[in-house]
Structure 1
């Protein structure tokens, strides 16, 4: 089978290797799509030490083609989203059956159960309540997911901020009550005008940038909640901690490492997808074959107009 190996600065190599041999509690999944995640971007840009190789990819969906002798509840032919930590940019992955979730008839290149789980867990951790006023800063893929899930909570105001007209257009299509072009308007002023001067009950930071992090403190009401969803890489970030202390913010780190939480988020997310309560249609904007994986990472880095999410696709 083919697998992508990161061996150099902006340099994947497509290698041939054996199809994984599954254990008794595992299934073999033929990969249909594998999402390109911002958390994998840094090693691709920075490169690796000489001689080091990494096998990236963890946003996998596909079809079960073999089951282990102890597997109960999954069958050959089942369409699943999976939890893997690496080696997802490959034609096949071996996965514990307990880490696979049936997707129903949702197109597999739109499943991406792992990032959906991240968004599910972020919204639940932030404890968004009926009638809340919510701000989502960043209308990229994760911001769009958070927006869609927040809308299921029955909020009053759902304000989405970004600097890209195409991203704000998606947010509008997905039902934002107000979008804010931060290059043209003051986000704090707009939020106060829509929230009786108080600020948002909950603000989600979904960009991973210092500017957005700063803005969360300027838009959130006293004793409100700030949820850090963006993946922060590179330079250290700063916050005015004295002000944040005085404002009595609840700060939620919406990044989770406990497996049980991740798996529950995946189960919930896939249930919502399969039932039609959540749709990711229109969020996958770039479908790129394995042999052009460097192009996919470059697209994520450059974010051309219209970009939301790139996935690596595999034939039939």
Structure 2
């Protein structure tokens, strides 16, 4: 019978305070739960948002969620995975019972779930795991449905990327935006999620892919992932530039990977009539949007938000990793550096300065 284990994990104790390595207690898995030995975990902007108090005040947080690992043990009634399975962790474990799941749309599941038990500090203080995962630790406890089995031959630092940002971007293009062969696409914001949207658009066969950012390094990354054109938003009017590159019409699909009112408006007006806007960048709670309702009516089309790239992990993770292994999807280019678990605070600084696409914590 498995017992509670003590491991080191990255904890944010207070809003804006530096993160610290702390001893955490990981319970034995209960019914419907799995304990996973983490092999790699990407440093995502969402973790930084937790640290800064932009997602909630449930401190202390156990950070990390973009992870791959091996199932160590499972609780009663678990049939999806077994000890020894290589898995990517996902933060939207579908319930199979809600109205979205019953209608055959599980990627919209309205009752996703996490582990019932809480991991704690040594003094018993309950931790809030980032996105219900908490994987900046050698071991974590999740709902078994948060584990998606994948090919064990894929490097963990690559496989784990699908746990959040890369899946969000690829899915925003393919699943939410419905990018198809011959489409024109513009992507505003070319960090990890935006570049994944560029890559997804290229994979889907878009003929024109316009990358928009204020940082030349990020624009170069976008070119590497398949952007056919780039726009420096410091130098050019974004809407005019996108229209000029699409025969004056605007793009069929415009993806806002920033998530600010000003970038969303750029996306709205840079799309073609009856085109699609996809919001995948996450706004902060105080942001509001004002838009002439007649413009919404008159331009037609679709205004969408993309939750986790509207992905279904059991369908999308193995498929995308198959494409990676075939040499058709260069997911490894997102890994800027591999770091130790004690280097997360420095990785946040590099992320803030725009020096990396992804720093990935790798556990021995």
TM-score when normalising by structure 1: 0.86
SS at match of 2:333: coil
2:289 aligned with 1:238, yes or no? yes
Say if 1:223 and 1:47 are closer, same or farther in 2 by CA, change over 3 A.
closer
2:126 aligned with 1:94, yes or no? no
CA distance in 2, matches of 1:58, 1:49: 16
Shift of 1:36: 2.5
Question: 2:171 touches 2:200 (CA, 8 Å); kept in 1?
Answer: no
CA distance in 1, matches of 2:32, 2:12: 29
2:169 aligned with 1:119, yes or no? yes
Shift of 1:270: 3.4
Structure 2 match to 1:34: 41
Question: 1:201 touches 1:220 (CA, 8 Å); kept in 2?
Answer: yes
Say if 1:120 and 1:266 are closer, same or farther in 2 by CA, change over 3 A.
farther
Question: 1:38 touches 1:231 (CA, 8 Å); kept in 2?
Answer: no
2:222 aligned with 1:171, yes or no? yes
Structure 2 match to 1:255: 307
SS at match of 2:187: strand
SS at match of 1:251: strand
CA distance in 1, matches of 2:58, 2:48: 19
Structure 1 match to 2:360: 311
CA distance in 2, matches of 1:48, 1:250: 27
SS at match of 2:49: helix
CA distance in 2, matches of 1:311, 1:175: 23
2:53 aligned with 1:3, yes or no? no
Q: Which structure 2 residues correspond to residues 116-195 of structure 1 after superposition, within 5 A?
A: 116-123=166-173, 124-195=175-246
CA distance in 2, matches of 1:199, 1:246: 15
Q: Which structure 2 residues correspond to residues 48-67 of structure 1 after superposition, within 5 A?
A: 52-67=59-74
Say if 1:102 and 1:256 are closer, same or farther in 2 by CA, change over 3 A.
closer
Say if 1:56 and 1:65 are closer, same or farther in 2 by CA, change over 3 A.
same
SS at match of 1:168: helix
Shift of 1:287: 3.0
From 158, 173, 187, the equivalent of 1:110 is 158
Gaps of 5+ in 2: 1-6, 92-131
Q: CA RMSD in A?
A: 2.8
CA distance in 2, matches of 1:281, 1:49: 32
Question: 1:20 touches 1:92 (CA, 8 Å); kept in 2?
Answer: no
TM-score when normalising by structure 2: 0.75
Q: Which structure 2 residues correspond to residues 64-79 of structure 1 after superposition, within 5 A?
A: 64-68=71-75, 70-72=77-79, 74-79=81-86
From 271, 274, 288, the equivalent of 2:322 is 274
Question: 1:159 touches 1:191 (CA, 8 Å); kept in 2?
Answer: yes
Say if 1:239 and 1:312 are closer, same or farther in 2 by CA, change over 3 A.
farther
Q: Which structure 2 residues correspond to residues 288-303 of structure 1 after superposition, within 5 A?
A: 288-303=339-354
Gaps of 5+ in 1: none
Structure 1 match to 2:125: none
